[in-house]
Structures are given as C-alpha cells and as structure tokens.
Amino acid sequence: MNTTSSQVTGARARPSFPQPLPGAENTVLWADLDAIEPSAQQQLRNVAALPWTRRLAVMPDVHFGYGATVGSVIAMEGAVAPSAVGVDIGCGMAAVQTSLTAEDLPDDLGPLRAAIEAAIPVGFHAHDDAADLRDDPGLASRVSAHLTGFRELRAPRIADRRSRAIAQCGTLGGGNHFIEVTVDQDGRVWLMLHSGSRNIGKELAERHIDAAKGLEHNVGLPDRDLAVFLDGTPQMDAYLHDLHWAQEYALLNRESMLVLLEGVVRRVFPGVTFSGRVTCHHNYVAHETYDGVDLVVTRKGAIRAGRGELGLIPGSMGTGSYVVRGLGNEAGLCSASHGAGRRMSRNKARKSFSVEDLAAQTRGIECRKDAGVLDEIPGAYKDLAEVIEAQTTGPSPLVEVVTKLDTILCVKG
C-alpha cells in the first residue's frame, strides 16, 4: 500500500485551492478556512449574503477589516459598497528596475536611506506646497490638471482639504506604507513603494460611507458597515465620481514619489537608468464582465491579475516581495493577493514583540528598528512564501512568479 509522508507523520495535508465557503455557493477561497479568524469568516458570510453580491473571491492574505475583510474581491450587480473598497482609496504598489546591481551598492546604506527620507515626506509630514517634479514636467502637468478637479468633488465639507491634498501628493504616509530598495534573483536593484490617496482618500471614503448608512435600503443589513449605493442613483454617481478621482490621485502620488526617488538614486549613482515600471492598485473599483453580466468589482487588499498583467505582492519589513504575472483566472475574478496579510492586530503586535525582536527580524536590512514601527514587525504578518504558494500551485492558480525581490533598505513613516 502506498503511504504519503503526511499519513506517516500524522501531519495535516496541505489544502488545495480554491476551497468553498460552506453555505455560500457564490464564494471561493484561496485560503484555508480553518486559518481565517472567526470575525473575518463572519464578514465573508455577511458579504456573500448581500442581495447584490454575485461572486466573492477570497485571497490567501485575507483578514478582518472594516465592514469587508482585507483580501476580498467582491462582484456586485447594480450596487457598490464603499467599505468593500476601504478608506485608503487607490492604495497600491509601484516598482521600477534600475541598471544597478547589488555589487554597485555601498556596504553602508544609511546615507541613502537618509537622502530618501529627506526627499520624500513620511508619516504625517508633507511638502510645503506642491512636490518639486522638475525632473518630469509631463507628470507635473498631469498632477496640476488633476488637482483642478478637486473643486468638482461631491462629498460634503471637503473643500477645505484642497491645500492638504496638494501638499500630500508625493508623500508616503505611515502604517504599512513603505519605500524599499530591493535586489531581484539576478542581482538587479529595484526601487519600490507602497502608498495610496493619503488623507484626501480617507476623507472622501468616510463621508460617502456615512451617507450610505443613512439610506433606507441599508436599514436591514447584517452589518451597517456594508451599506451600499444602488446603480442609477445620484448617491452612487457621486461616490463613483469621487472614488475615480481619488484612485487617480493615488496613482499620481506613487508616480510622484517614484520621480523623487529616482532623483535621489540618480544623484548618488550618476548614470543610472530605469526601466520596466510595474504599478497596481489594490483598494479600488472596476467595472468588469463575468459570465456575460456587467458587474461592479471591488478589490480590497487584492490586485487585478488578468492574463499577462504584471503585479506586485509585498511581504513585510525583512521578508521581501514578489513580481507576479496574472493568469486571468476568472474563477478568482482575475485577482491575486495584495501582500502577505496581517496575522495579528497592531495592538497585539506591540504587546507580543520587543524592539529587540524587531532588530533580529530585520537583521541585515537598513531600516528603522525602534518602537515606532514595532507594529510593522515581520512576525505580525503571515508567511509570504505560503501566501504565494496558495495562488501559484494547485488546480486553479491565480498568478505565476516573475521574480522575488529581497529587501535591503526600507523606509517607514
């Protein structure tokens, strides 16, 4: 009789994906249900039961979120739930390959990190006015033109945020946002960053979420945080108008930071060139068609992975990232995870780890190693290799790996 190693050792066999969500025929999981915390499981069931939800695809980085889990791809017919996008509208990743190799870099990367932090405001800091984009006049014009649309935003009480939105375009923010210098499997140096629509996206999202909660058709929902706007109503039109503006703002924010980051690297390494830019949203709305039905697809903590499309899946401080290529898996709504995903809350991370743990887990990486970023310690996140494996193997993979990027420098707010 043939006997597998798991039978001999008693170990639990590795699950094959996708898996069903019992009781929710419209839902498939690229995550082990037993490993999803009960509160997140309930959120998935709440979303699946909404009358407008046609399909729900759950990514391997899934975890509890506001209203809807992070790591959800929700396809609705005739409706959109702002909480299924998240409050950092348009948050996403950008990366660019350089002509540098690992051998070109100095042993001490501290001065390079300091130069990046001097050029790109992090945390609560912002530019004094608009970012200096003289290295890319075309981008400067696009940013300026986009910001003129601020006056047309439809959310209430938003007009006084304009000067802040101008100053924050081209800034990193805090939390899990980062700027990194990485090295791929061929020894080539990449620059990458993760950020979104800054305060203006949050303000727009919160105002529209509050408006949705007050609509009569949302009164009987199992979770009022899942309040929706209905197609053909002025409220949905207003939300989508502001959301698309914020998604573009987030993209321009990342492009502005890349220009500033490339400028820093160019001053340190004269003659360096850049190529192969990759960029992707992972908190956004798209209008897509599946099984002949036009649907409103929200990706919250998930990237689009259409066939041949390049994407970025980061881990955490110290664990690196992956460049992936989408396989266009319609069962997974042409999506993939946006990262490793948290396995514990920020508060729990602060209580569970010490600054010494942070230093040990980020050994060999030029980065902050103080209590201010303790909640971003790698140990607070899921195993990135397992998250990648869940969506690259089995009978229904979502992506294929192009290359792994190992972090050597990380800037946090």
CA–CA dist 159, 350 (Å, integer): 37
Strands 79-80, 274-281: pairing is unpaired
> Is 287 among the residues known to form the active site?
no
**Structure tokens given for 134:** 């003289």
Quote the strand ranges of 102-177, DSSP E.
none
| Residue 179 in marked binding region | yes
* β-bridge partners, 274: 98
| Residue 372 in marked binding region | no
CA–CA dist 262, 44 (Å, integer): 41
In the numeric block, the tokens 């046609």 are attached to: 54
| Residue 340 in marked binding region | yes
Closest CA to 143 of 266, 259, 243, 242: 259
| Residue 341 in marked binding region | yes
What angle is formed at CA 114 by the lines to CA 136 and CA 279, rounded to 5 degrees? 45
| Residue 412 in marked binding region | yes
| Residue 74 in marked binding region | no
Query: At 127, is the secondary structure helix, strand, or coil?
Result: coil
**Structure tokens given for 318:** 């110290």
Closest CA to 368 of 378, 358, 360: 358
DSSP letters spanning 302-320: EEE--TT-EEEEE--TTT-
| Residue 315 in marked binding region | yes
Q: Specify the DSSP element, H or E, that contains 209.
A: helix 198-213
| Residue 194 in marked binding region | yes
| Residue 206 in marked binding region | no
| Residue 178 in marked binding region | yes
Q: Specify the DSSP element, H or E, that contains 285.
A: strand 283-290
Of 63, 208, 281, 338, the catalytic one is: 338
Closest CA to 368 of 377, 279, 268: 377
| Residue 177 in marked binding region | yes
| Residue 218 in marked binding region | no
Chain centroid offset of residue 80 CA:
19
| Residue 338 in marked binding region | yes
| Residue 99 in marked binding region | no
| Residue 39 in marked binding region | no
> What's the Cα-to-Cα distance from 217 to each of 214, 224, 240, 347, rounded to whole Å?
9, 11, 19, 35
| Residue 339 in marked binding region | yes
Q: What is the largest CA-CA distance in the chain?
A: 74
* β-bridge partners, 403: 323
CA–CA dist 251, 343 (Å, integer): 28
| Residue 316 in marked binding region | yes
Radius of gyration of the chain from its Cα atoms, rounded to whole angstroms: 21
The catalytic residues are 338
Residues making up the annotated binding site are 88, 176-180, 194, 282-283, 314-317, 321, 338-341, 412
Residues making up the annotated binding site for GMP are 176-180, 282-283, 314-317, 321, 338-341, 412
Residues making up the annotated binding site for Mn(2+) are 88, 177, 194, 282
